[in-house]
Amino acid sequence: MATTSHLDIESCKLIPLSVSSLCPCPPLSSKFLALSRPLTKFSHLRLFLDAHKAKGLTRNVVSVNRRLISALARADPDEGNAKQEVVKGHTMSMNEDTVPERQLKTNQLRKRILFGLGIGVTVGGVVLAGGWVFTVALAAAVFVGAREFFELVRSRGITAGMTPPPRYVSRVCSVICAVMPIVTLYFGQIDVSVTSAAFVVAMALLLQRGNPRFAQLSSAMFGLFYCGYLPCFWVKLRCGLAAPSLNTRTSWPILLGGQAHWTVGLVATLISISSIIAADTCAFMGGKAFGRTPLTSISPKKTWEGTIVGLGGCIATSIVLSRILCWPKSLLSALAFGILNFFGSVFGDLTESMIKRDAGVKDSGSLIPGHGGILDRVDSYIFTGALAYSFIKTLLPLYGV
């Protein structure tokens, strides 16, 4: 069935026809034209009213136009069926697209949990071993983390506003960061070695070809501090605090140290790491369940509600483990230790989020499936080791025993 549509005469240069035979209504303006070309899509039907010459029309024109549209729709049932088929096909395609997304998220979550459990068991064994096992494992993690940091510094998002250090300087800094924990283990302190390393890196930057930039020096120095100096406090915490916390002895294999006490360093490291894990887990679950208020623009997914739940989980873990491991003896000391661990983890996480935001990347790397890079997993621990060691050495009398 042929249908009609109205087009503007001046734009098409066509001859106007009368449409009075279609309906008993006042004559339309000469600006309108009835065409005999069939409409293939109902959605293309347009009724144009001339704003200057349609002032004399009555409401009957509007009602007639509505009846005309309804008649045209009833006259072309095939098009209505086709529309229904299109809508159904679009709905089916959306459902088909949603299923792979759900499967992908499920697989990512499963992979994240499996690798997280594997990392947790491995780290637990390394912490219990202590000594050179703990130090070498930490040095390897520091080396990879330093490489990721300097790759972030060289990313397009950061280099748009600064000049990164040369690649050979970045590699030298990564090696120096990896050596620092080993030096800390065997010499007990890191101050002289860090100062010497900083001097060597500064001289290399100042004597390079071209124009040395302050941004190169500042990013290299911060890399030595962030990726090398701060992680060394975990060696000082785990291996340096050798005072026994319990009167029991533990038998380890000869390669892992043989007979050993449960030392203050071992217990403090276990409590600190466990409380950070509890803080991250509780903050994630609390944010999913109750999160409404954003914490900061640096990390939009973090909320105040999740942060409060994470603080509660961190404090509870610290207190429970202190009662089980009999260190520290004071409940107030355990409470303060948990709060300190929480704030160290939060600000370490925010610092790495700020670096990634400026770099314009989501993850610092892709080494760990489902987790990103090393820095994505250890960002909460970078500042915490230094804070925990300083708290125990300075504020707890006799190491809290």
Tens of pLDDT, residues 243-293: 877 655 555 565 555 555 688 999 999 999 999 999 999 999 999 999 999
Under the banding of pLDDT at 50, 70 and 90, the label for residue 113 is: confident
Under the banding of pLDDT at 50, 70 and 90, the label for residue 4 is: very low
Strands 6-8 and 32-34, by their bridges, are antiparallel
> DSSP readout, 294-362?
B--SSSTT-BHHHHHHHHHHHHHHHHHHHHHHT-SS-HHHHHHHHHHHHHHHHHHHHHHHHHHHHHT-S
Q: Provide the 10 A C-beta neighbour count for residue 210.
A: 7
pLDDT at position 259, please?
56
Give the range among 76-90, 127-141, 183-197, 283-297 with minimum mean pLDDT. 76-90
Residue 328 region by backbone torsions, left for phi larger than 0, else alpha for psi between -120 and 50, else beta: beta
**Where is pLDDT greater, at 101 or 53?**
101
> Is pLDDT of 398 > 50?
yes
pLDDT tens-digit profile of 316-325? Answer: 999 999 998 8
Taken in order 52, 58, 60, 63, the sign of the CA dihedral is positive
Mean pLDDT throughout 24-33?
Answer: 43
Distance CA 326, CA 321 (A): 8
Beta strands in 16-167 (DSSP E): 32-34
pTM above 0.85, yes or no: no
Report helix, strand or coil for 34. strand
> Is pLDDT of 338 > 70?
yes
Angle of CA points 117, 121, 122, to nearest 5° = 115
> Is pLDDT of 140 > 90?
yes
Report the chain's mean pLDDT, rounded to a whole number: 77
Verify cis geometry, omega within 30 degrees of 0, for the bond prior to 27: no
> Is pLDDT of 349 > 90?
yes
Mean pLDDT throughout 306-335?
Answer: 93
Nearest of 345, 338, 226 to residue 271 by alpha carbon? 338
Taking a C-beta distance cutoff of 8 angstroms, is the pair 235, 138 a contact? yes
pLDDT at position 9, please?
42
Enumerate the domain spans of the chain: 6-78, 131-234, 241-401
Dihedral, 102, 104, 105, 107 alpha carbons, nearest 10:
120
Give the range among 78-82, 201-205, 391-395 with minimum mean pLDDT. 78-82
Distances (CA, A) of 63 to 24, 45, 58, 239: 11, 16, 9, 89
Distance CA 279, CA 274 (A): 9
